[in-house]
Amino acid sequence: MALQSAPRLGVVVPSGNAAAEPEIGSLVSPAFNVHTSRFPVLPGKDLRGRLEKYNDVLPEVLGNFGGLRLDAAVVSCTGSHYLLTPEGDRALCAELSERVGAPVRSAALAILDTARAVGAERLVLVSPYEPWLTELSHAYWESAGLTVDRIVKIRAGARFSPYDVTTEELVAQVREAELPEDATLLFTGTGMFTFDALAELGRDSGRTLLTSNLASAWWARDALGLPADGPDAHPLLRRLTERAAAVTVS
């Protein structure tokens, strides 16, 4: 597809998030062109204060795309939407979709869409968040009807910092957890780099591996009717398509 005519995917990210754009961009290329709008820098606010403010200013941040016509948009910050119930999240995204004139989905709702597509009803939550935010994430998934069987808390060194987790740390801590071979793992957090870890962990077993950015790409392709198993689809998306196909057959 020619660059000029490719569908446009808007991605809204926190200012310090370095992972969402390259991961989502890799997953949807060349089917989409990716365009980004960033949440404002909020000096003086702690993490919870920033997340709350993100929800307040989200319409304005989406408005920063201005006259750029979008075909779909993803809010690539799960933490702020964990402050909402799934129902509140859906209501907010429906309102934003009407305002933008194109489907808008939070990364959290995209995860729910993808989990249902692959038949996941239970999951292991792999979380790099501070404990209070991990608990909010846990509550969000349970409220949405998913059972969280276990939580694997991921540290960057001695602290919780999604942006700073290395591939080696992520792989080592997941392996140390000795998870069941048939588990569905959800790596939450759009700012934690996961691609290299998924490639390594995918060789260990047949587990279903979901991430915030992977689910966002899955949703975007689905929203525009672009198959995730097409010749241009990323291998991680094709792997999910195989899982979804197996669920459909069974």
Residue-wise pLDDT tens digits, 70-105 = 999 999 999 999 999 999 999 999 999 999 999 999
What average pLDDT is seen over the chain?
Answer: 95
Short-list 192, 211, 47, CA closest to 128: 192
Residue 35 — φ and ψ, nearest 5°? Answer: -125, 140
Task: Point out the least confidently predicted range of 153-157, 175-179, 227-231.
Answer: 227-231
Domain boundaries in the chain? 3-108+212-233, 112-211
User: Which token pair is 21?
Assistant: 């754009």
Please give the pLDDT value at position 230: 77
Name the β-bridge partners of 36: 11
Say which residue the tokens 């309102």 belong to: 95
| Candidates 3.40.50.970, 3.40.50.1860, 3.40.50.1170, 3.40.1280.10; CATH matching 112-211 | 3.40.50.1860
Cβ atoms of 62 and 10 closer than 8 Å:
yes
CA distance 226 to 109: 19
Short-list 82, 75, 73, CA closest to 17: 75
Please give the pLDDT value at position 192: 98
Please give the pLDDT value at position 244: 85
Establish how many alpha carbons lie within 13 A of residue 217's alpha carbon, considering only the half-sphere containing its beta carbon. 30
Please give the pLDDT value at position 250: 58
3 state SS of 8? strand
User: DSSP states of 38-94 as a string?
Assistant: EPPP-TT--HHHHHHHHHHHHHHHHHTTTT---SEEEE--HHHHHTS-HHHHHHHHH
% residues pLDDT > 70 (the chain): 99
Q: Residue 41: pLDDT above 90?
A: yes
Burial (Cβ within 10 Å: 0-12, 13-18, ≥19) of residue 101: exposed
Please give the pLDDT value at position 233: 85
Task: Give pTM, 2 decimals.
Answer: 0.95
Name the β-bridge partners of 156: 159
The CATH class, in words, for 3-108+212-233 is alpha beta
CA distance 123 to 111: 12
Name the β-bridge partners of 124: 150, 185
CA distance 126 to 129: 9
